[in-house]
Amino acid sequence: MADTQKTATLTLDGNTYELPVLSPTEGPDVIDIRKLYGQADVFTFDPGFTSTAACESSITFIDGEEGVLLHRGYTIADLAEKSHFLEVCFLLLYGELPTAAQMEKFESIVTRHTMVHEQMLKFFSGFRRDAHPMAIMVGVVGAMSAFYHDSIDIADAHQREVATIRLIAKMPTIAAMAYKYTIGQPFVYPRNDLDYASNFLHMCFSVPAENYEVNPILSRAMDRIFTLHADHEQNASTSTVRLASSSGANPFACIAAGIACLWGPAHGGANQACLEMLREIGTVDRIPEYIARAKDKNDPFRLMGFGHRVYKNFDPRATVMKQSADEVLELLGIENNPTLQVAKELEKQALQDPYFAEKKLFPNVDFYSGIILEAMGFPTAMFTPIFALSRTIGWISQWKEQIEDPGMKIGRPRQLYTGHAQRPYVNVEDRG
């Protein structure tokens, strides 16, 4: 629990109110206003919740000013370099890095839950072939509650655990099936002899007509993408999952809500928007024109993939992602791809421009992840589903933490009402 040694004083209309100040392990102090409405009959106003702590959590910490991202106290750089995605999943879920025996057991359980209920395959045929994979994922993940009735009782700790494992294990299968469905290829079943990332690539790119060998460099890059997107504190989609879960909704419905929120171009769709921007620029010689447009306040054009709402320094995930991008592009021999050349030169010129340095607009994780995914062969429509697959562990960890919090209450934000005051009803024949 946070420390409560300090207090803050609010003076309003001549009355003084003492408010507890909570001191976290890391980050700024938090003024506790839970009793403010009852005491002073006032609300606080914070559109976008940019200055509001909506929950207490011990999972992830971000220091945007210093470019720090910690999962359970471990830096994202250390986890991306020394760990792997399923180990990070264990860490986020249970709070500590696993022992060798715990890791082996966890991997085994996840691996043996990757298949989906066979009846779910027919669910896909209800979608048009040109449906966006995210639309399919929202529907299919939400429908899991209709197939797995034995893991929707959130009051049962065992059922919560089963739902957690099922979501982590089956999300790659569902994402791969959504991809295969949209390109008209048969579904590929998971293989228990492959690791998590390799299995996903296998389900996406193998076909019955020939063997598919997963390149270890691509598998490692995929695993890093999963790891770097695993959790990111109380962002829009995580807050959506928490808000949905506060009503007692089942875990599959809550995660489906998170997927729907992530779909937005300002959130999970940012890497797709970044790649589309690079294609719009087209050639290296046009970069100065677009940089000038980005600096023009009257021009709607913005450099996608630069800057971040939270990070006012550099995005610590971007450094690792850039390394993976270099490895993947070298492996595939496509360093001279025009879009990739534009990306590299745009990064170089933007970092040298004082305008971007002053505003602390540095390349973020979305700038590089889209480049890697396109190089691997994924269409842009699959970028956000892969993000959703990665973020599922963060969502379910945050969901689990909230459900197990004895102080949990249903979310009920307040508002600053600016509509009409109460007025009498006018019959239709009397309205002018």
Contacts of 212 (CB under 8 A, 6+ apart): 202, 205, 206
> Domains in the chain, ordered, with CATH?
7-53 (2.20.28.60), 77-265+380-404 (1.10.580.10), 269-376 (1.10.230.10)
Q: Over the stretch 135-171, which tens digit does the pLDDT of each residue have?
A: 999 999 999 999 999 999 999 999 999 999 999 999 9
Structure tokens at 344: 């590299």
Q: What is the structure's pLDDT at 351? A: 81
pLDDT single digits (tens) 230-242: 999 999 999 999 9
The answer to whether 95 and 152 have CB atoms below 8 angstroms apart is: no
Cα-Cα-Cα-Cα dihedral of 44, 45, 46, 47, to 10°?
150
- Tens digit of each residue's pLDDT (9 = 90 or more) over 391-421: 999 999 999 999 999 989 999 999 999 999 9
pLDDT of residue 374: 86
Residue 312, pLDDT score:
64
User: Residue type for 355, please?
Assistant: Y
pLDDT tens by residue, 107-118: 999 999 999 999
Query: 10 Å Cβ neighbour count for 430?
Result: 7
DSSP 207-254: BTTB--PPPHHHHHHHHHHHHHTS--SS-HHHHHHHHHHTTT--HHHH
State mean pLDDT over 249-265: 95
With 90 as the cut, is the pLDDT of residue 361 above it?
no
Active site residue 326: no
In this structure, what DSSP letter does residue 17 have? E
CA 210/CA 36 separation, integer angstroms: 66
CA nearest 117: which of 241, 252, 261? 252
Residue 1 has pLDDT above 70, yes or no: no
pLDDT in tens, 184-199: 999 999 999 999 999 9
Q: Which of 195, 231, 315, 366 is catalytic?
A: 366
Hey, what amino acid is at 159?
A: Q
Provide the percentage of residues in the chain whose pLDDT is more than 90: 72
Task: Give, in order, the Cα–Cα distances in Å from 18 to each of 33, 46, 226.
Answer: 10, 20, 44
Answer yes or no: 308 catalytic: yes
Between CA 255 and CA 24 the distance in angstroms is 28
CA distance between the termini of the chain: 60
Residue 336 has pLDDT above 80, yes or no: no
Report the distance separating Cα 18 and Cα 11, nearest Å: 9
Residue type, 382: M
pLDDT of 426 reads: 96
Q: What is the Cα–Cα distance from 266 to 393, expressed in whole angstroms?
A: 21
Choosing from 71, 202, 232, 308, the catalytic residue is 308
User: Is 241 within 8 Å of 234 (Cβ atoms)?
Assistant: no
pLDDT at 139: 96
Mean pLDDT score of the chain: 91
Cα 112 to the chain's mean position, in Å? 25
pLDDT in tens, 62-100: 987 888 899 999 999 999 999 999 999 999 999 999 999
Separation CA 99–CA 177 (nearest Å):
33
